[in-house]
Structure formats: C-alpha cells, structure tokens
Structure 1
Amino acid sequence: MLVYALTDKGNVRENNEDSYFISTDEKIKLFIVADGMGGCNGGEVASRYAIEVITKYFFSNYSSCNKNDDSIKKFIEDAVRSANSHVFNKSFSNIDLTGMGTTLTLLLIENRKFFIGHIGDSRAYLIRGDKLIQITEDHSYVEELVKLGRITHEEARNHPQKNIITRALGIDDEIEVDIFTGEVFENDVFLLCTDGLTNMLTDDLILKEFNSSESIDKACDNLIKMAKQNGGFDNITIVAVKEV
C-alpha cells in the first residue's frame, strides 16, 4: 500500500483549518480528512480535535472489534458519533469556539474491503482504471438543489451558496453518518480531499493528473499547485491511498 498526504492553506486564508490523519500501523489502515469551520480558531480546533478523538477511539478499541462488515460499520459510526459529542461539548468551553464544526471523511481498509464514514462536503473518490468514482455525496445546499433538478452539476460548481453545508460534525448533539463499503482491487487509488480541491478542479482534471503522473506523490503535488493556480480560495488537503 502506498500512501501520500498533503495540505496547503491556499492563496487567501490566513490559517489552515483542514486536518488529516494517515495511519502508520499496518493493523489499522485508517485515513481521515476534515475541514473545520467556526469563528477565530474554531475551525482549526474542530477538525484537529475530531481526528484526535476518532484515532484514539480506533487505537483503543478496534482490536476487540469483530471484523465482519456490520461490526465495522457500527464501529465507524460509534467513533464518529463520539467525536461529534466531544467537539459539540468543547464548543461550549470557550466563547471563541461557539458554533464550531467540521466535515469529516474517513477511510478504513480491512479484509480487502473499503469502509468510508462521511459527514459534510469533503469527498472520497475511487480511481479504478480510467474511471474516477465519487463515493460520497456532498451534504450541501447546492447538492440538494441538484438532486431536486433545479440546477445542474455544472451550475452547482459556481453557485453563490455552494459553501452552505447541511450536515457537519460538532454542530448538533446528534448526527447522521453516511457509511459506504465495497471491494478493494489491485491498483485502486482512494482519494480523500477537502472542497478546496474540488471547488478549483473538475473531476476530469483530477483523474487525468493521477493517470498521467508517475506516482501518487507527484499527482497530489501537482493537484495542489493547479488548485492554487486556479484561485486557491480555500485550504486544500489531499490524502491518496493506492493498493498495490
């Protein structure tokens, strides 16, 4: 397995409110991206703290988890809900953190299968051969408009309200977590990224870069540069995982 991660604050933002995690433990193949939001340094705190809680939950409890599909799905849901409670409660500890929250997209690989936990508008993609498949669904206002047929996907890319998300971790005391699962094949590439990438680059450009680059490292480096060349209006984070 090859893994590479990169984050950049972009051209406009003063701080980087994105966070990521890549596991170095072969027993727990866990990867996460999170895009924080909130006044002052709330976004940074929310994304970092959510990942801290989830990774601690995994490394404390995963060894005792029954490794069948249903148990793994429940374990991921419990881990994300634990992070939600911690971030939600922490938001009341300091007035500067009031209302903070974060997106979160998590990838776990186990038994030649992938498991993804998701809330918000960061994304998980699968690159398989010459196809790039968006696994997750954005929890956003414009995605709701697309589903209702009121705007097209192309119109959604430039919609003035595209940054309004409808679900996030830490905003409410209860959350709904999307879980996705499927088989993993040789040469599959999983891409976790924040919307600082996908708002600047099309899926076609992302796929082309991965298929033309000599390594996932080079592809991620180039995608960050391209996103910044196209504006870099937000923080940009990418985690790439290739099964070899």
Structure 2
Amino acid sequence: MTYEFFAQTDRGRVRANNEDAVAVDREAQVAVLADGMGGYNAGEIASGMAITYICTEMSRWLAQAGTTPPATDVRRALELCVENANHAILGASLSNPQYSGMGTTLVVGVFQCDRLILGHIGDSRCYRLRAGVLQQITRDHSWLQEQVDAGILTREQAAASSNRNLVTRALGVEPHVQMEVNEFQVAPSDLFVMCSDGLTDMVNDEELADLLRTPGSLEEKAGLLIDTANAHGGRDNVSVLLVQAAAGGKKRSLMSRLLGSA
C-alpha cells in the first residue's frame, strides 16, 4: 500500500489568527492535526507544540523500530509520544502566565502497509471515504456527543446547538489525558480526511461526502473543502489533512525482484 498526503489550513473568515496546526512526515507516514484553545495566542502555541513534538518523536521511533513493527508496539509508542506532549504543553501553560489554560484537540494517524493506527482527543475528526461512502471513524469527546449518546439530544438537535465546541478531553490541560486509539484495515482507494471542527461545523456530512467524491487531486479537494467552509461563514479556523491509499509499493519483494531478473 502506498499513501499520498496533502494538508492545508486556513484562518477562516472571522478569527484574527489561526490556532489550528497540521504536520505530515511522508517518509514515516505520520499525519497530525491539532486545534488549539486558549486566550491570546496560547491556542496557537499548544497546537504547534503538539504537532511538532508528536510528529518528530513518532517519526524518530518508527525509524528505529525497523520494518513493520507490531501494531501493539506502534500503539504504545504513540501513547507515550502523546503523553510526553501533554506534559510539555501543560508545563508551558503552568510556567508562562500568558499561556495559562491553553490546550488542544488532536487527531494523529500512523499508516503502515494496510493498517492505520489512529488516535484522537477532543472533537477534531477523521473520516474515511470508501467506495463512495463516507464514515466518521472517530467519536467526538464532547459534551454534545455525550448528550446524544445518553439519548437526551438527537443528532439534529446537537448540530443546531450553541454548545458545539465544549470538549470533554483536551491535550495539555490535565496531568493525564486519555487518548482513544483504534486500528483500521486500509483498502486500496480509501481516502482518509482529518479535520478540525472549523470544517465540520460549517459543512455537514452529506455535503462533505459530495465534495470528496468530486474528481480532482488531493490539493484540489482540500481547497474545495476549505472554500466551502468559508463560503458557509468560515466562523473558525479550517484545517484539512487528506491521505489517499493506493495498491502497490515503492519496494518490490525479494521474490518479485528475483523473478524480474530471471
């Protein structure tokens, strides 16, 4: 399996600065997206610290781990990277008054062969488009999601609520944070979409699916998503990280190389 990555972030139409951040290591096949929160520019600091630390440390671990380490080892390494990033952000928040109370959501994916190890904290999401069908494969850590799960609100009521941005988990806020981690099998032609709530608050899932099914490159699709969110109001920063899977690989197996030279 090969993977193509494209990431784009935009300030939106209302906010004065961009507190979203994205990072990709194409060699290690690691993708990270974060949506910061906090006064002044603190959210921007938190999200920037998160993506830099996690992408760098996870990529370093993968380089040392050799070819296709066990999924359990990848998961544990990812959890340790996120735990250390949490401590770093919280430490900066406690030692710098201007950063007090800052934090960030997180969605991070490690793509290896035909599997995805996916972790998330908060309400930044990951979707998968497979055979034209869009599915959200993360579950928001938010007050609204809890209300929906408890049967207190319908999804339609939640979508119209003014409390959409109340998250129940965030990176860098408490000494310990619980990241939800899941493993997914990847099929050829799967398209994964990581995004901040600046996209999903402006573009519903049905429209999102229609936009993703539009022919074009990853860069064109990302631009279309961001332009649509801004056309609908752009009330928040908008970030999109697209990952396209395809059959094949850069390196041939030993057997195929031997057969090719016969």
| Alignment TM-score, normalising by the size of structure 1 | 0.96
The question of 1:110 aligning with 2:107 is answered: no
Q: Secondary structure at the residue paired with 1:145?
A: helix
Q: Which has the larger radius of gyration?
A: 2
1:231 to 218, 221, 233: 233
8 Å contact kept, 2:30–2:59: no
8 Å contact kept, 1:65–1:71: no
Distance in 2, Cα, partners of 1:222 & 1:165: 27
Name the aligned partner's letter for residue 171 of structure 2.
L
2:123 to 121, 124, 129: 121
8 Å contact kept, 1:65–1:75: no
Distance in 2, Cα, partners of 1:179 & 1:24: 21
Unaligned runs of 5+ in 1: none
Aligned-residue Cα RMSD (Å) equals: 1.1
Number of residue equivalences: 242
Q: 2:97 is matched with which residue? A: 95
Q: Secondary structure at the residue paired with 1:165?
A: coil
8 Å contact kept, 1:187–1:242: yes
Cα drift, residue 61 of structure 1: 2.2
Q: Secondary structure at the residue paired with 1:169?
A: coil
The question of 1:37 aligning with 2:37 is answered: yes
Distance in 2, Cα, partners of 1:243 & 1:99: 38
The question of 1:157 aligning with 2:159 is answered: yes
Distance in 2, Cα, partners of 1:213 & 1:106: 26
Cα drift, residue 62 of structure 1: 2.3
Matches within 5 A, 1:56-205: 56-65=56-65, 67-205=69-207
Q: 4+ residue stretches of structure 1 with deviation over 4 A?
A: none
Q: Secondary structure at the residue paired with 1:200?
A: coil
Name the aligned partner's letter for residue 38 of structure 2.
G
Q: Secondary structure at the residue paired with 2:213?
A: helix
Distance in 1, Cα, partners of 2:215 & 2:175: 43
Q: 1:9 is matched with which residue? A: 11
Name the aligned partner's letter for residue 75 of structure 1.
A
Distance in 2, Cα, partners of 1:51 & 1:81: 13
Distance in 2, Cα, partners of 1:107 & 1:34: 12
| Alignment TM-score, normalising by the size of structure 2 | 0.90
CA deviation profile, 1:91-127 (whole Å, cap 9, x unmatched):
0121110010000100110131001011010001111
Name the aligned partner's letter for residue 207 of structure 2.
L
Moved more, 227-236 or 2-11: 2-11
Distance in 2, Cα, partners of 1:169 & 1:21: 16
Distance in 2, Cα, partners of 1:168 & 1:127: 26
Distance in 2, Cα, partners of 1:56 & 1:218: 27
Cα drift, residue 71 of structure 1: 1.0
